[in-house]
């Protein structure tokens, strides 16, 4: 995740302009009509001021994430408050250019000022300060969250996740799940107030609520974007339902039908992940008979004696093989790659560009595992994207849309194939294709299982922001959507005394989440296009673009566009297509889909 896409506080335009007061002693003089030249000058000044404020806020947010204290929460809140205050002031001033015929680049910048914001506040300075403090305190409280079981020491989220991934004892899994989800209830009153204040700010900007503002950031009307998400989900839902049916049958074999009944949602604590968002930790329970891919990524990495820095060096080298320049020396000096022993940090992986130019950093508590190897490539995708567009004007220094930012590193990580591992010396020989079914299933347990989760998080928040889900129904609404999209049920009775959404980082951190669903779709669309550009015609899951500088140059050209053009233009530059398309996922997993359907024959699928 890039914190820029999570925290970027860009000014908005839709405030009502203040009417000029009439001069004493006579009628008010008509103000001179604004000009395109004045609009351009206004934006140049605004971008200089905002770039300075964004950098200060990003620096404060970095300190908060890597050194969580009451003081760093306050410093980050103050920096965020300053950005919000400047946002509202510039928005009021900028309305004078509404309706003016403008050059395309000026008009686009003004449009982005309206829709590129994930958090807005009312114009009242006291409410701005309150919202900034709530936002910082929620993220800090999540980062400091622990579970302290009776008779033992306290566990942080990293240790809880490890134990849940490994256990096959349903009682232990339930205790771990409940233990972490206890982090949510103290956040509930803060989140209710957060929603009230953020919606008030959005309405001042002439959006119906914060969710409508978020959905307006995709070069299309909010309702059209919601329909686009539904269309993409409908393309991939049959593959997900096949995977769900197969996994449920295997869990029934492990735990019995009393705990995992036919035709019902799967209890969330049995899926090896605190949020049931990825199921790869279940692989040993669901693997196919001929599952041996010929290697284990984690074992390969540990056999090399790699440390966290070595893991990142492999990721840097992959991008280097495509023609990207090496990471700056300051990246290695300033990044946080392992969990400190002496302080609280937010271990959730994220990529940073502190000065919006070349102060690139990675924040991640890296473990030497195959999963973290992939995550490193994902996060570096953000960093190399950030640097690729750093010559654009400040308002264009972002991904074509937020899904692009998340998809780039994942698309590159799809090239972590046996062929790639052999080429970089991690694997002695490329194994035969007989083990590919296991590789595909292992990947589907994470990437395909994630897709409905990627949809439902913001489905919940959009309904919360609009009032369709009121505070009195926060938790019930959450579980209704988890059942609808994921086919997952709570492992124990839940009430409105609970606040299970607060146990997922992106909710207290106010990070829009649909981007991850879009990235789950687009990474395969990008991968297919890059493989075609590289002239590779074999199975899509065996394609690696490692070392192909010509294909890398095509990728770099698209990244350099930043947000200077509507996202269909950027998509077309890389893929030749102007519409997001999930069929590449179906192409990638086609052999697995056929096998799953065979395994599910005669079973009661659905929920």
Select from 217, 246, 242 the least CA-distant residue to 518.
217
* DSSP at 24: T
Would you say residue 9 has pLDDT above 70? no
Residue scoring higher pLDDT (24 or 148): 148
* Per-residue model confidence (pLDDT) at position 193: 98
Concerning whether 378 is annotated as a catalytic residue, the answer is yes
Would you say residue 376 has pLDDT above 60? yes
Choosing from 385, 406, 485, 541, which is the catalytic residue?
406
Q: Cα separation of 524 and 519, whole Å? A: 9
* Per-residue model confidence (pLDDT) at position 95: 72
Concerning whether 377 is annotated as a catalytic residue, the answer is no
* Per-residue model confidence (pLDDT) at position 29: 62
Distance from CA of residue 106 to its chain's centroid?
29
* Per-residue model confidence (pLDDT) at position 109: 93
267: helix, coil or strand? strand
Are 62 and 361 a contacting pair, CB within 8 Å? yes
Concerning whether 181 is annotated as a catalytic residue, the answer is no
* DSSP at 484: I
Distance from CA of residue 405 to its chain's centroid?
9
Would you say residue 30 has pLDDT above 60? yes
Choosing from 348, 405, 527, 541, which is the catalytic residue?
348
Mean pLDDT throughout 427-448? 90
Are 211 and 465 a contacting pair, CB within 8 Å? yes
Choosing from 349, 433, 476, 573, which is the catalytic residue?
349
Least confident range from 58-62, 115-119, 248-252, 597-601: namely 115-119
Residue 122 corresponds to which tokens in the numbers above?
Answer: 């009312």
Mean pLDDT throughout 527-542? 93
Strand-pairing partners, residue 353, are 360
Are 530 and 575 a contacting pair, CB within 8 Å? no
Residue scoring higher pLDDT (466 or 113): 466
Mean pLDDT throughout 125-137? 91
* Per-residue model confidence (pLDDT) at position 99: 87
pLDDT tier, 290 (very low <50, low <70, confident <90, very high otherwise) = confident
Mean pLDDT throughout 292-319? 93
Choosing from 405, 506, 527, 541, which is the catalytic residue?
506
Mean pLDDT throughout 377-392? 96
Select from 318, 325, 373, 383 the least CA-distant residue to 350.
383
Cα dist from 297 to 153, 294, 309, 366, 426, whole Å = 31, 10, 17, 15, 9
* Per-residue model confidence (pLDDT) at position 412: 92
Would you say residue 508 has pLDDT above 50? yes
Would you say residue 115 has pLDDT above 90? no
Are 527 and 588 a contacting pair, CB within 8 Å? yes
Would you say residue 258 has pLDDT above 80? yes
Phi and psi angles of residue 189, each rounded to the nearest 5 degrees, phi first: -65, -35
CA pseudo-torsion sign 350, 355, 357, 358: negative
Are 342 and 369 a contacting pair, CB within 8 Å? no
* Per-residue model confidence (pLDDT) at position 16: 29
Strand 350-353 vs strand 155-156: parallel, antiparallel, or unpaired? unpaired
* Per-residue model confidence (pLDDT) at position 20: 30
Least confident range from 117-131, 277-291, 346-360, 403-417: namely 117-131
* Per-residue model confidence (pLDDT) at position 287: 93
Least confident range from 13-27, 171-185, 280-294: namely 13-27
Residue 18 corresponds to which tokens in the numbers above?
Answer: 């203040």
Mean predicted lDDT score pLDDT of the chain: 91
Concerning whether 527 is annotated as a catalytic residue, the answer is no
361: helix, coil or strand? strand
Least confident range from 327-341, 423-437, 498-512, 569-583: namely 423-437
Strand-pairing partners, residue 361, are 352
Mean pLDDT throughout 493-512? 96
Choosing from 198, 379, 385, 389, which is the catalytic residue?
379
Concerning whether 348 is annotated as a catalytic residue, the answer is yes
Per residue in 179-199, is it b (16+ CB within 10 Å) or e — as a string? bbbbbbbebbebbeebbebbb
pLDDT digits (tens, 9 = 90+) for 394-419: 999 999 999 999 899 899 999 999 99
Choosing from 181, 244, 269, 378, which is the catalytic residue?
378
Concerning whether 401 is annotated as a catalytic residue, the answer is no
Task: Give the 3-state DSSP-derived string for 126-183, with helices as H, strands as E and coil as C.
Answer: HHHHHHHHHHHHHHHHHHCCEECCCCCCCEEHHHHHHHHHHCCCHHHHHHHHHHHHCC
Cα dist from 44 to 49, 80, 106, whole Å = 9, 22, 10
Is 0.85 topped by the overall pTM? yes
Residue 428 corresponds to which tokens in the numbers above?
Answer: 């002695």
Cβ contacts of 538 within 8 Å, gap of 6 or more: none
* DSSP at 353: E
Would you say residue 124 has pLDDT above 50? yes
Helix (H) or strand (E) run with residue 362 in it: strand 360-363
Choosing from 516, 541, 582, 584, which is the catalytic residue?
516
Mean pLDDT throughout 197-206? 90
Are 229 and 517 a contacting pair, CB within 8 Å? yes
pLDDT tier, 348 (very low <50, low <70, confident <90, very high otherwise) = confident
pLDDT tier, 5 (very low <50, low <70, confident <90, very high otherwise) = very low
Concerning whether 379 is annotated as a catalytic residue, the answer is yes
* DSSP at 19: P
Choosing from 181, 269, 377, 382, which is the catalytic residue?
382
Would you say residue 390 has pLDDT above 50? yes
Would you say residue 22 has pLDDT above 50? no
Mean pLDDT throughout 328-353? 93
Share of the chain above pLDDT 70, in %: 94
């Amino acid at each position: 995740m890039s914190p820029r896409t999570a925290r970027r506080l860009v000014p908005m335009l839709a405030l009502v302009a203040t009417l000029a007061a009439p001069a004493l002693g006579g009628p008010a003089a008509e103000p001179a009509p604004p000009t395109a030249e004045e609009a351009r000058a206004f934006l140049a000044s605004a971008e200089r001021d905002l770039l300075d404020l964004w950098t200060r806020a990003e620096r404060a947010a970095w300190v908060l994430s890597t050194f969580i204290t009451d003081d760093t929460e306050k410093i980050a809140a103050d920096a965020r408050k300053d950005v919000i205050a400047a946002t509202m002031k510039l928005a009021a001033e900028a309305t004078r250019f509404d309706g003016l015929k403008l050059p395309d680049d000026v008009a686009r910048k003004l449009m982005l000022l309206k829709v590129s914001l994930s958090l807005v506040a009312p114009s009242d300075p006291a409410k701005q300060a309150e919202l900034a403090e709530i936002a910082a305190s929620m993220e800090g409280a999540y980062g400091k969250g622990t579970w302290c079981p009776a008779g033992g020491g306290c566990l942080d989220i990293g240790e809880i996740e490890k134990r849940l991934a490994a256990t096959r004892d349903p009682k232990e899994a339930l205790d771990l799940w409940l233990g972490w989800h206890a982090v949510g209830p103290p956040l509930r009153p803060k989140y209710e107030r957060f929603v009230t204040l953020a919606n008030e700010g959005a309405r001042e900007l002439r959006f119906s609520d914060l969710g409508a503002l978020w959905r307006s950031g995709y070069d299309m009307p909010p309702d059209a974007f919601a329909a686009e998400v539904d269309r993409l989900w409908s393309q991939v839902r049959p593959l997900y339902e096949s995977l769900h049916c197969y996994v449920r049958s295997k869990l029934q074999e492990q735990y019995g039908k009393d705990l995992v009944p036919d035709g019902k949602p799967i209890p969330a604590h049995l899926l090896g992940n605190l949020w049931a968002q990825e199921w790869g930790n279940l692989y040993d329970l669901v693997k196919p008979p001929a599952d041996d891919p010929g290697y284990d990524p984690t074992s390969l990495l540990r056999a090399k004696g790699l440390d966290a820095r070595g893991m990142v060096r492999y990721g840097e080298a992959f991008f280097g093989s495509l023609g990207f320049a090496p990471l700056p020396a300051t990246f290695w000096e300033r990044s946080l790659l392992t969990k400190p022993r002496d302080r609280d940090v937010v271990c959730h992986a994220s990529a940073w560009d502190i000065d919006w130019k070349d102060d690139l950093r990675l924040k991640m508590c890296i473990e030497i595992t195959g999963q973290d190897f992939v995550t490193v490539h994902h996060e570096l995708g953000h960093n190399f994207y950030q640097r690729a567009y750093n010559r654009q004007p400040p308002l264009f220094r972002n991904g074509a849309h937020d899904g692009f930012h998340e998809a780039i590193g994942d698309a590159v990580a799809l090239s972590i194939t046996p062929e790639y591992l052999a080429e970089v010396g991690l694997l002695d020989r490329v194994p035969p294709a007989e083990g590919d079914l296991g590789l595909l299933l292992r990947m589907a347990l994470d990437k395909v299982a994630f897709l409905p989760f990627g949809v439902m998080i913001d489905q919940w928040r959009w309904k919360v922001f609009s009032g369709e889900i009121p505070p009195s129904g926060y938790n019930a609404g959450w579980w209704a959507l988890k059942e609808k999209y994921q086919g997952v049920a709570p492992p124990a009775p839940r009430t409105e005394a609970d606040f299970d959404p607060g146990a997922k980082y992106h909710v207290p951190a106010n990070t829009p989440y649909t981007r991850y669903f879009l990235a789950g779709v687009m990474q395969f669309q990008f991968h297919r296009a890059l493989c075609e550009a590289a002239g590779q015609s074999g199975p899509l899951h065996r394609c690696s673009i490692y070392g192909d500088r010509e294909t890398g140059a095509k990728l770099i050209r698209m990244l350099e566009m930043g947000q200077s053009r509507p996202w269909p233009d950027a998509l077309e530059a890389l893929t030749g297509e102007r519409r997001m398309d999930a069929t590449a996922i179906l192409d990638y997993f086609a052999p697995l889909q056929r096998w799953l359907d065979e395994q599910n024959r005669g079973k009661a699928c659905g929920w």
